[in-house]
Structure 1
C-alpha cells in the first residue's frame, strides 16, 4: 500500500527495493553489513482450532512497537468471499475490544459458547476485527511506553495493520471496505480514513460509520442534564448539579485542559447516581435495572461491562484467556486486555479532544459518505447532545442534510427508529438501544446496514 521512508543511523547505505508480487507492493530494508532484509512489519498467522474454521486470526508485528491483533471472518454468503464487502470494526480506548464484544457478543460468526450465530453479519459480509489502540484486547506493546497517547499515532498503527491485512488476504485488495467505529472507536475510524486519504491510499474504503461515537464528548454532554430530567431519572436540582459538572468539562476542554476534562468525565457515574439523585443508573444503557450496590459507572466506563455481563457472564476476559487464547494459539504470556488501564492513562490528555474537524475533513475532501447512528438509551452519547454537533457541521451539503425529511424505520410493522439521509451524510435514530445498537436492536441495525451498504 503506502510507501515509506526508513532511516538507518551509522551511515549505512539504505536501498529501498520495491518488488511487485501478484499486484502487492512489498517494502524491504537492505542492511549491507549483514545482508538482512527486514520489513517495517511482519505477520504471524495464527492457526485456530477446527471449531473456529473460516476465521483468520493474525498478529501484525510492528517492529520496535508491539503486536496488533486482527481477526478476519469469511462471509458465508454465496459466491467468492472477496465479492462481498468487508466490515472493519473498531472500539477504541474505553470500549470493550472488538475481538470480544463485537465478535462474540454482538454479530460475529460465533457466540461465546462457540455456537454458530444464525443472524451473524457474516451471512452477507466479511468481518475484520482489530483490537486497537495497541494495548487493548490481544494487541500488546513491547513495553508500556510504546502504547500510543494520541489518536493519530493509533491511526498510524491501524494503517500498518491494514497493510498487513492486504498482504495476507491478497484477494480482498479490490473489495469494498466499510470502517465502523463505536464509542471512542469513532475517533479511530475517522482518523484512519483521514490518514489514508492524506497518504493518497483510500483504496476501496466506501464508508465510515460512527455508532454512539465520542466525537465531541464535551459538547454532547451539554444535554445530559436535560436528557436525564426528561426521562425522570433526576429532578430540577439534579439537572442543575449535572449541568454544573458538564459545564466544567466543557470549560476545561475549551481552555486547553483536556486532561482535566477527562478526569471530570470519569466522575459522571458517581455524579449522576450520588449527587444528582438518580441512585442506580447505568449511563450506557439507561433502562437497565441496577441495585444500589452495582459497580460505579465511572470505574466501568459507564456500564458497558456491567451491561454485557448481565446478558452473558461468559463475555469476559477470563473466557478470552482460558478458552479463546489457546484455541487461537496465542502465547500464554499474553493476557487479554491486561493493559486496558495503561491505554486509558496514555490517552487521558487527548481523549476529550473533539474530532468534529475530522468529520468535516472527510465530508469536504472525499467522496466517502459519513453515517452516524445513535441508540436512544445511551446517556453519555445521548442523542440530543450528538445532534448539537451534527446539526452544526461545516460542509457544503449541510443545508441539504438539515432540509431532508426525517423518516421512520419500520420493520415487521414496528417502529425501530428514524433516519435523515442526504448525499454524504446520514443520521439514524435507533430505538431501544444503548451504547451498542447492534447488541440491543439487531433488527434496526440490519435495516441500517442495508441502507449503508445497499446490498
Structure 2
C-alpha cells in the first residue's frame, strides 16, 4: 500500500485549493467590461479573429482563430480548420498550444517553421472556463465533468459557425493533447448530436487524439512495467507501483473516481522516488532536464494540471527573448495588449487553480466508450503517440485501443505498419502508421508527450494527411 502521508497530502491540497477558491468568491475581481460576452477583435487584414462567447450566464470562453496564408481553393478538397484542445485539465490552448507548439509564432514572436497553419486554419480555445483568458464571474460555474466542458464548447461552436457560411464550408478537425483528448471525444459526440438535431451547422472532419488521457487505468498500469524495461526503476519500485496501480483499477471499477485521483497522485510520487525523478513527459530525461521542462523541486508537489502547465511555463522562460519573461508575463503583457478586449480584472491563468480541483471527480474517468461511439458514427478517429512519453504512454494507448468494441477492430489490428519519413530526408524513420476504415494510429519516434514540439516535421506531415489538406501545385 502507498504511504498514507502522501495520500493525506493529496487530500489536503484539494481541500486547501477549494478553500482558496471560496475566498476568491468574496474578492472584487469581477470584470469591469459589462459586454465582455460579446467582445471581439481581430487584425486589420482579417487574418486573425478573437473574442468571447458567453456559453452560460457569467461563464465566458475565449477563442482565437487564425486564417492560413497557405489556403488552397480546391472545390474537391475544402480547406480544413483545426480546433486545438489543450490538456491539464486547465492548460491554455491560446497560450501553450498556440505559442508553445503549433501556432504561427513562438514565444519570441518569431515565425514557426512547422506551424500547422501551413495545413489548416487554426482555432484555439481556452477551455474549460476559468482556463487562460476564459473566466467565470462566479467560481461555482467552473465545470466538474468532461461532458459539461463539451457542452460549453458545443455552445461556442454554435455561436461561431451557425451564422458563418465560410466556416461552415471548412471541415472541422478536433485535435487534442493529453487531458484534452477526453474533452475532444466528448465534444465530438456532443457536436455530432447537435449536427444531427439541426442545431449546429458544421462539417465534422474527424477527431485526433495526441498522447491523450483516454483510459487512466491503462496508463497508470503501464508506468512501472515500462520504466522497468528501460532500467529506470527497480523490482522494489515495480512491485510497490503495481500495488497502487491495482488499487486504482479497483477504485475505478467501484466508481470511486476521487479516490482514484488521490491514488494517481500517490503513484506519481512513488514512481518519482524510485526512478530518481524521471520526467513523466519524456522518460529519457530526469524531471526538469527535458527540452520541454518543469521545475524539478516544485514539480512533485503539484497536481497534474500544474505539472502539465509548468512544462510550458519553463519552456517560455527558456526560449523567450523578452527579458526571459515567463509565459504568464508574456501572455499578460504583449499578447494582452494586442488583444485589447480582455476585461480589466481578468488575467491569463488567474483562475486556473479552480479547474483541476473541480474536476477531481472526473479526472480518472475513462472515455473509451466515446471513442467507440465516434467510430460507430463513422467519424474519423486518429490516435497519435510519442514513443518516449510516460504519463500517456504508447503501451497504455495500445492497451485501451484493444478494449474498443468497434466491429472493425480485428481487421485494424491485423494491419501492418508503414514507416514514415520527413519529406526530402527519406533515410531516418520518424514514425510508423497503420489505418483501417475510419481509424488510424501513428507511432511518433523519439517524441515525448508534446509531439508537435519534439517532432515538428513529421507532425506537420501527419496533420496534412489527417485533414486531407490540399497542396499548392
Instruction: State the TM-score, normalizing by the size of structure 2.
Output: 0.82
Match of 1:446 in 2: 460
Separation in structure 2 between the aligned mates of residue 282 and residue 290 of structure 1, nearest angstrom: 4
Closer, same or farther: CA 129–296 of 1 in aligned 2, 3 Å:
same
Closer, same or farther: CA 169–295 of 1 in aligned 2, 3 Å:
farther
Closer, same or farther: CA 342–311 of 1 in aligned 2, 3 Å:
closer
Q: How much does 1:168 deviate?
A: 6.6
Q: Which has the higher helix share?
A: 2
Q: Which has the higher strand share?
A: 1
Which deviations, in whole Å up to 9, do the C-alpha atoms of 1:94-152 show, x marking residues without a partner?
A: 36211111100111011122222232111221000011111111110121101111111
Closer, same or farther: CA 148–312 of 1 in aligned 2, 3 Å:
closer
Separation in structure 2 between the aligned mates of residue 216 and residue 449 of structure 1, nearest angstrom: 24
Separation in structure 1 between the aligned mates of residue 65 and residue 232 of structure 2, nearest angstrom: 42
Conservation of the 8 A alpha-carbon contact between 1:223 and 1:384: yes
Conservation of the 8 A alpha-carbon contact between 1:186 and 1:214: yes
1:431 paired with 2:448, answer no
Match of 1:76 in 2: 69
Q: How much does 1:227 deviate?
A: 0.6
Conservation of the 8 A alpha-carbon contact between 2:276 and 2:286: no
**Structure 2 matches for 1:403-418, cutoff 5 A?**
403-411=414-422, 412=425, 413-418=427-432
Separation in structure 2 between the aligned mates of residue 95 and residue 433 of structure 1, nearest angstrom: 23
1:362 paired with 2:359, answer no
Q: How much does 1:369 deviate?
A: 1.1
Q: How much does 1:53 deviate?
A: 6.9
Match of 1:229 in 2: 228
Unaligned 5+ runs, structure 2: 1-35, 289-294, 321-325
Separation in structure 1 between the aligned mates of residue 72 and residue 428 of structure 2, nearest angstrom: 33
Counterpart pick for 2:157 among 162, 168, 178: 162
- Paired residue secondary structure (2:233): coil
Counterpart pick for 1:374 among 364, 385, 400: 385
- Paired residue secondary structure (2:384): strand
Q: How much does 1:400 deviate?
A: 1.0
Match of 1:321 in 2: 332
Closer, same or farther: CA 53–197 of 1 in aligned 2, 3 Å:
closer
Match of 2:299 in 1: 296
For these two proteins, the number of residue pairs brought into alignment is 410
Match of 2:211 in 1: 212
Conservation of the 8 A alpha-carbon contact between 1:258 and 1:351: yes
Match of 2:10 in 1: none
Higher mean C-alpha deviation, range 293-302 or range 205-214: 293-302
Match of 2:116 in 1: 121
Q: How much does 1:43 deviate?
A: 3.1
1:194 paired with 2:206, answer no
Higher mean C-alpha deviation, range 115-124 or range 172-181: 115-124
Match of 1:34 in 2: none
Higher mean C-alpha deviation, range 139-148 or range 78-87: 78-87
RMSD: 2.3
Unaligned 5+ runs, structure 1: 1-40
Counterpart pick for 2:357 among 342, 345, 356: 345
- Paired residue secondary structure (2:54): strand
Separation in structure 2 between the aligned mates of residue 80 and residue 298 of structure 1, nearest angstrom: 50
Match of 2:12 in 1: none
Q: How much does 1:351 deviate?
A: 1.4
Closer, same or farther: CA 383–293 of 1 in aligned 2, 3 Å:
closer
Conservation of the 8 A alpha-carbon contact between 1:207 and 1:370: yes
Q: How much does 1:282 deviate?
A: 1.4
Instruction: State the TM-score, normalizing by the size of structure 1.
Output: 0.85
Counterpart pick for 2:434 among 420, 423, 433: 420
1:385 paired with 2:396, answer yes
Conservation of the 8 A alpha-carbon contact between 1:397 and 1:424: no
Closer, same or farther: CA 230–298 of 1 in aligned 2, 3 Å:
farther
1:55 paired with 2:48, answer yes
Match of 1:152 in 2: 147
Q: How much does 1:453 deviate?
A: 1.9
Which deviations, in whole Å up to 9, do the C-alpha atoms of 1:9-48 show, x marking residues without a partner?
A: xxxxxxxxxxxxxxxxxxxxxxxxxxxxxxxx96321245
Separation in structure 1 between the aligned mates of residue 298 and residue 284 of structure 2, nearest angstrom: 16
Q: How much does 1:174 deviate?
A: 1.6
Higher mean C-alpha deviation, range 387-396 or range 300-309: 300-309
